[in-house]
Amino acid sequence: MKGICLDSMTYDAMVKPQRNSLGLITDGLVVGDTMYQNEALILISHQGEFKENPLLGVGIDDMVNDNDILQWEHSIRVNLSRDNMDVRTALIDKKTGNITIEAEYK
């Protein structure tokens, strides 16, 4: 899936102005593969933050000190599926907290 790329730290649109021989800006927004970016946005967003799809969002920051790892893995699968992804793997390592996701758009 192609779209406007976001800065991974600030989530602002990535802009790299390109100028023609007269110095006028002819291009600027960075467009590329947004699948991993979309996964990250779905994980950090809470339900209701995507106005066009109010049920979308995992709210992963709420996972701190929660022991129900299976519920979180299920939530990740459900929410990525809501964005038309085919999810093969969504696992959370209980010891490290690392999340492993294998998914792609249908």
Q: List own/partner pairs for 82-91 with CB under 8 A and 24 or more apart.
A: 82/53, 82/55, 82/56, 83/38, 83/42, 83/53, 83/56, 85/35, 85/39
Per-residue pLDDT reduced to its tens digit, 27-38: 999 999 999 999
State yes or no: pLDDT of 66 exceeds 90: no
Which pLDDT belongs to residue 93?
93
Q: Is the pTM for the entire model greater than 0.75?
A: yes
If pLDDT is split at 50, 70 and 90, which confidence band does 99 have? very high
State yes or no: pLDDT of 6 exceeds 90: yes
Tokens matching residue 41: 């946005």
